[in-house]
C-alpha cells in the first residue's frame, strides 16, 4: 500500500527538466542546509514553497543560486542549470504546503493538514 | 580468539567515530562563522562526512561486536569474514575519497554515489550468511539477541535497498511518494541498526551477569517484537506533514516510542539484580551501560512528546529533531557500543577490566557535555519553531543571527563531547592494538 501511487495526494509527476534539477539538488547536497517539508539540514531555510512565495519566486531563486552569501558555497550554475533547479522547486511547490499554517490541531492531539488543492 | 578480524572491524569503527566528531565540531563552527573553511571544506561536504562517519561507527561497531561474539562459537567461515572486512575497508576508502572529490550524487544520510550501495549490500549478505550458518543448528533455542541480530541484518538489506528505490523511475516521477518512501526507509534503516545494538546490549548484560535466562525472558522477547513493529511501522512520525493520504499519517507513531520503556526496564532490572563482585569485573562496561540507561530515560520524554502530532507540528523541521537523534545516537547507541568494546577487551585481558580515573572523569564529562549539547539544540529548535510559526516577516538570517549565543553553547559543548569521546575511545583503541599485536 505504501508503494502504491494512490496513497499520495496530489500526485506530482516530475518533468524531465525537474528531474535534471533534482539531480543538481542531490549532486550539490542542497539538502545539507535546506529542507523540503521540514526534512533536511537547518543551516538554511525551508524551500518547499519558495517558488510561489510573493517575496521570493523564480527570479529571486535564480539570483540567489550563484550568490555565495553567508555559508552558501559559491556555485557557478549555468542558466539552463538554474532553470532546471527552479523547475524542480516549482514541482515541489505544486505538491503541497509547508509550513502548513492552515492545519487544524484537534483536541485528540491529531493535526489535520491542509492539502494544496483544498 | 579464532580470528582477529572482528577487532579490525572495531578499530575501523573507532577510527570513523574519531573522525566523525571532528567533522561535527568543524561543522558547528560554521554556524557561528559562516565563512569559516567555506571554500576548502564547505558545510555541504562536512555534513555528509560527519553523518557517514557517525553511521559507520554504529554499523561497524555493531558488526565487529557481533562477529566477536559469534567468534566464541564454532564459526562458519573466517574466509567470508575476511572478505567482508576487505570489502568494507575498500568501500570506506572509496566513499571518503569520493566525498573529498565532491562526488556525492546520493541523498541525505546516504550521500555517496549510489553505485557504492552494491558492495555495502553484498557485505551485509556475507554477514547474514555467516551469522545464520553459525547459529542455524540451534535456532529452536535462540536467545533474544540472536533473533535481534538476524532480524537486524535481514531488514538492513531490505531498507538499504528501499532507500535507493528513487533510482527506479516509477518512484522518482511521483514526488510525494518518492519522499515518503525515502523517509520511511530511513526510519526503518535506523530501526534495523537499533536491533543490532540493542541485541548487543542484552548480550553484554547477560554475559556480565552470568544469567542466560535474561536473554530468554518473556520481557526480552516482548521487547523484540515491539522493536520489530517499530522497525516496520514506526517511521510515520517522519512524514506527518508530507501531503500523503491521512491513513499513512495515522500509522503507528505510538509503537515507535513504546520500545524505549521496555529496554529501560530491562536495563533497570539488570542493574538491580547484578551480583556485587561483578561490579569490579568489567567495571567500565557496566558504567557505560548505566550511562545508556540514563540517556534512554532522558530521550524517552522528548521522543514521546515529539511523536504527538500536535507537538510534532511545532518541532518538525527544527533542531529539536536533531536533539532527539543526537540523544539517541550519542547517548544510547554510542554508550552501548563503547560498553560492548570495553567488555570485549576486558574478556581478552582481565587487567583491562578496571576503570582508570581519567575514564571515570570522561564519563562525567560525556554526560555533562551531552546534556548542554542537547539543551542548546532544544533552545535553537524552540527559537526556530517560533520563527516558522509566529514570526512577523523577519528574515531567515535575522533568526540565525539571534541564535548566536546558542550556537556558541552548541560548539563549546560539542568540544567537551569530542574530548570525552577521545578520552574514552583512545585507551580502548590502544588496548585493542596491543591485543592484535600479541
Three-class SS string for chain B? CCCCHHHHHHHHHHHHHHHHHHHHHHHHHHHHCCCCCCCCCCHHHHHHHHHHHHHHHHHHHHHHHHHHHHHCCCCCCHHHHHHHHHHHHHHHHHHHHHHHCCCCCCECCECCCHHHHHHHHHHHHHHHHHHHHHHHHHHHHCCHHHHHHHHHHHHHHHHHHHCCHHHCHHHHHEHHHHHHHHHHHHHHHHHHHHHHHHHHHHHHHHHHHCCHHHHHCHHHHHHHHHHHHHHHHCCHHHCCCCCECHHHHHCCCCHHHHHHHHHHHHHHHHHHCCCHHHHCCCHHHHHHHHHHHHHHHHHHHHHHHHCCHHHHHHHCCCHHHHHHHHHHHHHHHHHHHHHHHHHHHHHHCHHHHCCCHHHHHHHHHHHHHHHHHHHHHHHHHHHHHHHHHHCCCCCHHHHHHCCHHHHHHHHHHHHHHHHHHHHHHHHHHHHHHHHHHC
C-alpha cell belonging to residue B271: 542493574
3-state secondary structure of A26: helix
Domain of residue B342, residue span: 275-438
Q: A–B: how many Cβ contacts below 8 A?
A: 153
Partner residue facing A33 (CB), from B44, B184, B238: B44
Dump pLDDT digits (tens) for B383-400. Answer: 999 999 998 778 999 999
Q: Which helix (H) or strand (E) holds A91?
A: helix A79-95
Per-residue model confidence (pLDDT) at position B86? 97
Residue B72: which pLDDT band, with cuts at 50, 70 and 90?
Answer: confident
Dump pLDDT digits (tens) for B27-62. Answer: 999 999 988 988 889 999 999 999 999 999 999 999
Per-residue model confidence (pLDDT) at position B394? 87
* Residue in chain B lying closest to A109 (CA): B310
C-alpha cell belonging to residue B44: 555541504
User: Is the distance from CB of A95 to CB of A29 less than 8 angstroms?
Assistant: no
Quick check: is B100 in a domain? Answer: yes
- Chain B residues closer than 8 Å to A38 by CB: 241, 316-318
Give the number of other Cβ atoms within 10 Å of residue B390's Cβ.
Answer: 9
3-state helix/strand/coil string of B300-315: HHHHHHHCCHHHHHHH
Per-residue model confidence (pLDDT) at position B270? 67
Per-residue model confidence (pLDDT) at position B142? 95
Find the mean pLDDT for residues B129-148.
Answer: 94
Find the mean pLDDT for residues B334-354.
Answer: 93
Quick check: is B197 in a domain? Answer: no
Quick check: is B436 in a domain? Answer: yes
- Flag if B248 and A7 touch (Cβ within 8 Å): yes
Find the mean pLDDT for residues B190-211.
Answer: 92
Dump pLDDT digits (tens) for A23-78. Answer: 999 999 999 999 999 999 999 999 999 999 998 999 999 999 998 888 888 899 99
Q: Answer whether residue B266 shows pLDDT above 70.
A: no
Give the number of other Cβ atoms within 10 Å of residue B394's Cβ.
Answer: 10
* Residue in chain B lying closest to A116 (CA): B243
Return the closest-CA partner of residue B118 out of B108, B109, B129, B106: B106
CA B189 to chain centre: 10
- Chain B residues closer than 8 Å to A92 by CB: 175
C-alpha cell belonging to residue B417: 563531547
In whole angstroms, how far apart are CA B190 and each of B156, B370, B418?
9, 21, 23
Dump pLDDT digits (tens) for B228-255. Answer: 877 877 666 677 677 666 666 666 556 6
Distance from CA of A74 to the nearest CA of B (A): 8
Find the mean pLDDT for residues B183-201.
Answer: 92
| A104 in contact with chain B, both atoms CB, cutoff 8 A | no
Find the mean pLDDT for residues B331-336.
Answer: 96
- Chain B residues closer than 8 Å to A15 by CB: none
State which of B113, B141, B169 marks the end of a domain: B141
- Flag if A14 and B39 touch (Cβ within 8 Å): no
Quick check: is B370 in a domain? Answer: yes
Residue partners of B24: CB distance under 8 A and separation at least 6: B50, B54, B414, B418
**DSSP assignment, residue A53?**
-
Average of per-residue pLDDT values in chain B: 89
Quick check: is B353 in a domain? Answer: yes
Quick check: is B285 in a domain? Answer: yes
Per-residue model confidence (pLDDT) at position A62? 94
Q: Which helix (H) or strand (E) holds A50?
A: none
Find the mean pLDDT for residues B193-210.
Answer: 93
User: Is the distance from CB of B376 to CB of B405 less than 8 angstroms?
Assistant: no
Per-residue model confidence (pLDDT) at position B258? 64
Q: Identify which has the larger pLDDT, B18 or B177.
A: B18
If contacts are CB pairs under 8 Å, which of residues 33-52 in chain A contact chain B?
33, 35-46
Residue B407: which pLDDT band, with cuts at 50, 70 and 90?
Answer: very high
The CA distance from B143 to B355, in Å, is 30
The CA distance from B322 to B328, in Å, is 10
Find the mean pLDDT for residues B322-331.
Answer: 94
Per-residue model confidence (pLDDT) at position B231? 80
Q: Answer whether residue A2 shows pLDDT above 80.
A: no
In whole angstroms, how far apart are CA B383 and each of B319, B364, B404?
9, 29, 11
Partner residue facing B107 (CB), from A11, A12, A26: A26
3-state secondary structure of A1: coil
Q: Answer whether residue B223 shows pLDDT above 60.
A: yes
Per-residue model confidence (pLDDT) at position B65? 97
Residue B121 — φ and ψ, nearest 5°?
-65, -40
Q: Answer whether residue A102 shows pLDDT above 90.
A: no
- Chain A residues closer than 8 Å to B159 by CB: none
Per-residue model confidence (pLDDT) at position B28? 95
User: Is the distance from CB of B80 to CB of B129 less than 8 angstroms?
Assistant: yes
Give the number of other Cβ atoms within 10 Å of residue B300's Cβ.
Answer: 17
Distance from CA of A108 to the nearest CA of B (A): 9
Per-residue model confidence (pLDDT) at position A101? 84
Q: Identify which has the larger pLDDT, B139 or B300.
A: B139
Per-residue model confidence (pLDDT) at position B3? 85
* Residue in chain A lying closest to B103 (CA): A27
- Flag if A113 and B241 touch (Cβ within 8 Å): yes
Find the mean pLDDT for residues B137-159.
Answer: 95
Per-residue model confidence (pLDDT) at position B409? 97
- Flag if B43 and A31 touch (Cβ within 8 Å): no
If contacts are CB pairs under 8 Å, which of residues 60-99 in chain A contact chain B?
70-71, 73-74, 91-92, 95-99
Per-residue model confidence (pLDDT) at position B355? 86
Burial of B275 (0-12, 13-18, 19+ CB in 10 A): exposed
The CA distance from B344 to B42, in Å, is 38
State which of B141, B170, B190 marks the end of a domain: B141
State which of B141, B170, B204 marks the end of a domain: B141
Torsion angle in degrees (nearest 10) through CA of B119, B124, B127, B132? -140
The CA distance from B333 to B17, in Å, is 12
Q: Identify which has the larger pLDDT, B132 or B233.
A: B132
Quick check: is B17 in a domain? Answer: yes
Quick check: is B262 in a domain? Answer: no
In whole angstroms, how far apart are CA B298 and each of B199, B257, B292, B416?
21, 13, 10, 19
Residues B279, B131 within the same domain: no
Residue of A20, A23, A33, A43 best to disrupt the B interface, most CBs of B under 10 A: A43
Work out how many domains chain B is built from and give that number: 2
| A23 in contact with chain B, both atoms CB, cutoff 8 A | yes
Per-residue model confidence (pLDDT) at position B39? 87
Residue B117 — φ and ψ, nearest 5°?
-70, -25
Strands A39-40 and A111-112, sheet pairing: unpaired
Structural domains of chain A in order of their starting residue, each with its CATH number:
15-112 (1.10.760.10)
Q: Answer whether residue B166 shows pLDDT above 90.
A: yes
% of chain B with per-residue pLDDT over 70: 91
Q: Answer whether residue B84 shows pLDDT above 80.
A: yes
Q: Highest mean pLDDT range out of A88-102, B223-237, B307-321, B361-375?
A: B361-375
Amino acid at each position: 500500500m505504501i508503494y502504491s501511487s494512490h496513497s499520495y495526494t496530489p500526485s506530482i509527476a516530475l518533468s524531465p527538466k525537474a528531474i535534471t534539477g533534482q539531480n543538481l539538488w542531490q549532486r550539490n547536497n542542497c539538502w545539507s542546509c535546506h529542507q523540503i517539508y521540514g526534512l533536511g539540514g537547518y543551516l538554511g531555510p525551508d524551500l518547499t514553497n519558495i517558488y510561489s512565495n510573493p517575496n521570493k519566486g523564480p527570479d529571486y531563486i535564480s539570483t540567489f543560486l550563484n550568490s555565495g552569501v553567508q555559508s552558501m558555497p559559491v556555485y557557478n550554475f549555468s542558466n539552463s542549470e538554474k532553470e532546471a533547479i527552479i523547475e524542480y522547486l516549482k514541482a515541489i511547490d505544486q505538491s503541497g504546503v509547508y509550513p502548513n499554517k492552515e492545519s487544524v490541531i484537534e483536541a485528540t492531539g491529531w493535526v489535520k493538514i491542509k492539502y494544496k488543492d483544498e | 580468539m579464532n580470528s582477529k578480524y572482528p577487532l579490525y572491524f572495531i578499530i575501523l569503527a573507532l577510527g570513523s567515530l574519531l573522525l566523525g566528531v571532528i567533522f561535527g565540531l568543524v561543522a558547528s563552527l560554521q554556524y557561528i562563522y559562516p565563512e569559516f573553511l567555506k571554500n576548502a571544506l564547505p558545510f555541504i561536504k562536512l555534513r555528509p562526512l560527519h553523518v557517514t562517519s557517525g553511521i559507520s561507527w554504529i554499523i561497524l561497531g555493531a558488526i565487529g561486536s557481533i562477529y566477536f561474539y559469534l567468534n566464541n562459537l564454532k564459526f562458519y567461515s573466517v574466509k567470508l569474514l575476511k572478505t567482508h572486512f576487505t570489502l568494507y575497508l575498500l568501500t570506506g576508502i572509496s566513499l571518503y575519497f569520493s566525498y573529498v572529490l565532491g562526488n556525492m550524487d546520493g541523498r541525505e544520510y546516504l550521500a555517496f554515489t549510489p553505485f557504492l550501495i552494491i558492495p555495502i549490500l553484498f557485505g551485509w549478505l556475507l554477514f547474514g550468511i555467516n551469522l545464520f550458518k553459525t547459529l542455524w543448528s540451534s535456532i529452536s533455542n535462540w536467545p533474544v539477541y540472536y533473533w535481534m541480530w538476524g532480524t537486524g541484518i535481514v531488514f538492513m538489506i531490505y531498507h538499504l535497498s528501499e532507500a535507493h528505490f528513487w533510482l527506479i523511475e516509477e518512484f522518482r516521477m511521483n514526488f510525494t511518494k518518492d519522499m515518503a518512501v525515502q523517509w520511511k526507509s530511513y526510519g526503518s534503516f535506523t530501526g534495523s541498526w537499533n536491533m543490532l545494538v540493542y541485541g548487543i546490549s542484552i548480550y553484554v548484560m547477560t554475559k556480565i551477569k552470568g544469567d542466560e535466562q535474561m536473554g530468554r525472558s518473556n520481557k526480552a522477547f516482548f521487547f523484540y517484537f515491539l522493536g520489530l513493529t517499530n522497525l516496520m511501522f514506526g517511521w510515520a512520525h517522519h512524514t506527518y506533514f508530507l501531503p500523503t493520504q491521512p491513513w499513512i499519517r495515522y500509522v503507528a507513531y505510538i509503537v515507535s516510542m513504546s520500545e524505549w520503556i521496555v529496554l529501560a526496564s530491562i536495563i533497570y532490572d539488570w542493574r538491580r539484580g547484578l551480583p556485587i563482585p561483578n561490579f569490579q569485573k568489567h567495571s567500565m562496561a557496566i558504567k557505560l551501560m548505566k550511562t545508556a540507561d540514563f540517556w534512554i530515560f532522558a530521550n524517552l520524554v522528548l521522543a514521546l512528546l515529539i511523536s504527538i502530532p500536535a507537538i510534532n507540528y511545532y518541532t518538525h523541521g527544527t533542531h529539536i529533531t536533531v536533539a532527539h537523534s543526537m540523544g539517541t545516537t550519542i547517548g544510547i547507541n554510542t554508550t552501548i557500543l563503547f560498553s560492548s568494546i570495553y567488555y570485549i577487551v576486558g574478556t581478552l585481558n582481565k587487567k583491562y577490566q578496571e576503570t582508570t580515573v581519567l575514564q571515570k572523569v570522561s564519563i562525567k564529562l560525556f554526560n555533562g557535555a551531552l546534556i548542554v549539547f542537547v539543551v542548546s539544540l532544544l533552545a535553537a529548535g524552540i527559537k526556530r519553531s517560533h520563527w516558522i510559526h509566529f514570526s512577523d516577516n523577519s528574515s531567515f538570517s535575522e533568526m540565525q543571527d539571534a541564535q548566536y549565543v546558542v550556537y556558541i553553547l552548541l560548539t563549546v559543548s560539542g568540544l567537551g563531547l569530542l574530548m570525552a569521546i577521545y578520552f574514552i575511545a583512545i585507551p580502548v583503541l590502544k588496548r585493542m592494538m596491543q591485543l592484535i599485536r600479541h
